Amino acid sequence: MSASVREKSFSLSKSRRAIQWMVVIGTLVIGLRHILPGEGSRGGSFDSFCAFGGIETLLPYFFTGHMLKSTNLLNFSVLLATLGVALVAGRAFCGWLCPLGAAQDFVAEWTRKLFGETRHVRGKRSKTILPLRLPDFLDRPLRYAKYPVLAIILLASLFMVFPPLRGFCPVRAVFGLKMTSLLWLTLMVFLAGSVLVERFWCKYFCPLGATLAIFNKISPVRLVADHGHCNDCGRCDIECSMDIADVPHHLDHPECVRCMECLDTCAREGSLVLKVGSTNL
């Protein structure tokens, strides 16, 4: 074997999975606390731990000085932390710290296993039917849907008492444990979507992802490809949960959630390099 073939002593994929489990368990604990009486007296509702809740209540707070019901100042701290990560590492929050992103990754993994794939296939396209990739003519326009969703929510926030997304928020549906009929419907749609298409919510509808997308272009911590070294084997394209085509040439793509599965799967050491600062090697 060539000396450039990477010998792995550390798995980014495994450490990401460990962090995602911690985030999911932490969010479930917040959800459990949500169903116990007197949550308000213990420092805020379930919604107040949400970064997007900070965005939803930002305009009403700015224009009227009032926050939307079920949000409070803690939302701004969580939003600030999320924006801080985005400022440094782009959409890394989506790939590593978002409980909903983690839930979708788990559903995709379990779906593959259910359809007979005992482990994630490295270097070759999955033989399983699900999760599938939508055809281009559907996928491309749907990718832009999250931007109008964000605009509608921001506009609606000015006229509403509760956060506009609250009634059918997938985070509340998955982790909130205080269900309404609309949240049950949301949960079913979310699960069905995640089984059919990997990271279905992130790709098409997530308004927080729409907010963070721009940071992929400006964040200093980034992946850089050495095109002289990369042999375009396509392993990273197969591994990409966001289905970005030709990954080495689109490392700053707004859809990239900086999960680093491409780096982890790359067999030629030095083809993809994690850097701070310029895009030059």
Partner 1 sequence: MKIRPQDYPVIIIVVYVIFLLLGFLLGFLPGRGEGGHGRGMLNQPVPMWEAPA
Q: Whole-angstrom Cα distance, residue 76 to residue 153?
A: 17
Please state the length of the chain.
Answer: 281
Backbone angles phi, psi at 205, to 5 degrees: -125, -10
Task: Choose the stretch contacting partner 1; rule: CB under 8 A; options: 79-87, 142-150, 208-216, 241-249.
Answer: 79-87
Our finding on whether 93 is near partner 1 (CB under 8 A) is yes
| Residue 35 sits in the site that holds partner 1 (CB under 8 A) | no
The gap between the terminal CA atoms of the chain, to the nearest Å, is 25
Q: Would you count residue 76 as binding partner 1 (CB under 8 A)? A: yes
Closer of 14 and 140 to partner 1 (Cβ): 14
Are the beta carbons of 133 and 197 closer than 8 angstroms?
yes
Determine if 88 is a binding residue for partner 1 (CB under 8 A): yes
* Cβ atoms of 250 and 224 closer than 8 Å: no
Q: Could you tell me the smallest distance in angstroms from the CB atom of residue 5 to partner 1?
A: 16
Closest by CA position to 67, among listed 155, 156, 170, 158: 158
Regarding 159 and contact with partner 1 (CB under 8 A), the answer is: no
List all residues 6 or more positions away from 240 whose beta carbon is below 8 Å from its beta carbon: 247, 261, 262
Site for partner 1 in 196-235 (CB under 8 A): 221
Judged by CB under 8 A, the chain residues 42 through 61 that form the site for partner 1 are 42-45, 47-48, 61
Of 30, 92, 107, 242, which one interacts with partner 1 (CB under 8 A)? 92
d(CA 60, CA 58): 6
Q: Tell me: does residue 103 bind partner 1 (CB under 8 A).
A: no
Binding site for partner 1 (CB under 8 A): 10, 12, 15-16, 19, 38-45, 47-48, 61, 65-85, 88-89, 92-93, 96-97, 161-162, 221, 260, 263-264, 273-277
